[in-house]
Chain A
Amino acid sequence: MARTSLVILEQDYERFVAILDRLCADANARFVFLLDKNGQHIASVGDTASVDPTSLASLAAGSVAATEGLAGLVGEQVFTTLFHEGPDESLHLSTVAEKAIVLVSFDERSSLGLVRLRVQQSTPTLAEVVEEVTRRSDTPGQEVLSGTPLDDLTDADIDRLFS
């Protein structure tokens, strides 16, 4: 399998944010993150000011990956959702199109039932965009991806990073 890059264009980002905004409002959530299963932060909405998105993405991806490993051990194909309950804050994580993770943080203003319902309702739309983005990223030579910042990367550019 060739190594590929996941490329998120501005219009993809805007579509993701629109879906996440709606989910955040409908679920009465504190914030919602969309992450790549490899631990990259794709988009987030809501009250994210106090959250370190990079750390959150890495730990959430690790948590989902470990849970998928557990599923395999007990003979289940996949566990699609994860729920962490705290005294004040809870997290609901679910996979989208086998490529991404949607993480919803909520408190006493919402409930697990409502969050689950809203996540289920938004997943098909989210999955559609995720699949479109990954399909495009996996297909070499796509016109839309021409002119990435790495196309004409020079040794001098790399040297400059270390200066």
Chain B
Amino acid sequence: MTFINYAAREINCKIVYYGPGLGGKTTNIQWIHEKTRQEAKGRLISLATETDRTLFFDFLPIELGTIRGFRTRFHLYTVPGQVFYDASRKLILKGVDGVVFVADSQEMRRDANVESVQNLKTNLRDNGHDLGTLPYILQLNKRDLPSVLTVEQLVGDMRVGNEQAFEAVATKGIGVFDTLKAIIRLVLNDLRRR
């Protein structure tokens, strides 16, 4: 749910990074935080376990600029990828305006990707959304590792329509901002159409 505040002259949108555990969702957010200029970003909040696995969510607010005098802000969230944190994932999807699915390209993680996409569909449905109509971008992460699936295989597993897919190596920042720009563009276009 986009939040338009006339008093503060702000437009706020919520983007959620979803995907299997250890796929690179937090790494995406950390890279964005690291490379975004100070005045355009807020505090990065990570609710993580002692072993740095996401426990509840990571949160990073960023500000892009103004549209018609309104500051345009995006709240980036990640979900915990581990299967047993499903209740948390469902909560974080509340009020979502767009989803980035961060897939792990390694062959051995194929089932985990597929399971996570199914879980995304279910949790969105429970929140009153449909992945087929929600702004949705695929990121194929870890392209630098051996034994990766082909782009066609990954996209075939996760696409629900004709979504854009970006190859990425989030640890080196490759594809991170391309993905972010693509989802922001989709969210804003979706808002315009509503």
A158 engages B42 (CB within 8 Å): no
Encode A134-163 as 1/0 by CB contact (under 8 A) with B: 000000000000001111010001101110
Q: Does A25 contact B (CB under 8 A)?
A: no
Rounded to whole angstroms, the CA-CA distance of A4 and B97 in the bound complex is 9
Given A55-B59, A59-B45, answer yes or no on A150-B5 (Cβ-Cβ < 8 Å).
Answer: no
Encode B1-29 as 1/0 by CB contact (under 8 A) with A: 11111111001101000000000000000
Chain B residue at minimum C-beta to C-beta distance from A161: B64
Q: Does B110 contact A (CB under 8 A)?
A: no
B69 / chain A contacts, CB cutoff of 8 Å: 149
B192 engages A150 (CB within 8 Å): yes
Q: Does A19 contact B (CB under 8 A)?
A: no
B64 engages A7 (CB within 8 Å): no
Summed over the interface, the residue pairs from A and B with CB atoms below 8 Å come to a total of 119
Given A5-B194, A38-B14, A58-B59, answer yes or no on A150-B67 (Cβ-Cβ < 8 Å).
Answer: yes
Rounded to whole angstroms, the CA-CA distance of A55 and B192 in the bound complex is 27
Contact of B1 among A3, A65, A151 (CB under 8 A): A3
B43 engages A55 (CB within 8 Å): yes
Rounded to whole angstroms, the CA-CA distance of A160 and B65 in the bound complex is 8
Interface-side segment among B87-95, B101-109, B144-152, B156-164:
B87-95
Contact of B184 among A2, A6, A12, A161 (CB under 8 A): A161
Report the minimum CB–CB distance from A14 to chain B (whole Å).
8
For the complex, would chain A's binding face be called helix, strand, loop or mixed by DSSP majority?
A: mixed
In this complex, the member of A14, A37, A40 whose beta carbon has the largest number of chain B beta carbons within 10 angstroms is: A40
B61 / chain A contacts, CB cutoff of 8 Å: 54-55, 58
In this complex, the member of B4, B42, B57, B129 whose beta carbon has the largest number of chain A beta carbons within 10 angstroms is: B4
Q: Does B83 contact A (CB under 8 A)?
A: no
Encode A40-59 as 1/0 by CB contact (under 8 A) with B: 10110000000010110011
**Which residues of A, 27-43, contact B by the 8 Å Cβ criterion?**
36-40, 42-43
A8 engages B6 (CB within 8 Å): yes
Q: Does A124 contact B (CB under 8 A)?
A: no
Q: Does A74 contact B (CB under 8 A)?
A: no
**Which residues of B, 46-67, contact A by the 8 Å Cβ criterion?**
47, 56-57, 59, 61, 64-65, 67
In this complex, the member of B5, B42, B75, B189 whose beta carbon has the largest number of chain A beta carbons within 10 angstroms is: B5
A38 engages B128 (CB within 8 Å): no
B68 engages A149 (CB within 8 Å): yes
B7 engages A6 (CB within 8 Å): no
A55 engages B45 (CB within 8 Å): yes
Rounded to whole angstroms, the CA-CA distance of A14 and B7 in the bound complex is 8
10 contacts between A and B (CB under 8 A): A8-B3, A13-B7, A14-B7, A36-B1, A36-B3, A36-B95, A37-B94, A55-B59, A66-B56, A150-B191
- List 10 A-B pairs, minimum CB-CB distance, nearest first: A38-B95, A13-B7, A1-B128, A149-B68, A5-B2, A65-B91, A40-B3, A161-B64, A149-B70, A153-B192
Residues of B that sit less than 8 Å from A by CB: 1-8, 11-12, 14, 42-43, 45, 47, 56-57, 59, 61, 64-65, 67-70, 72, 75, 87-88, 91-92, 94-95, 97, 128-129, 134, 181, 184-185, 188-192, 194
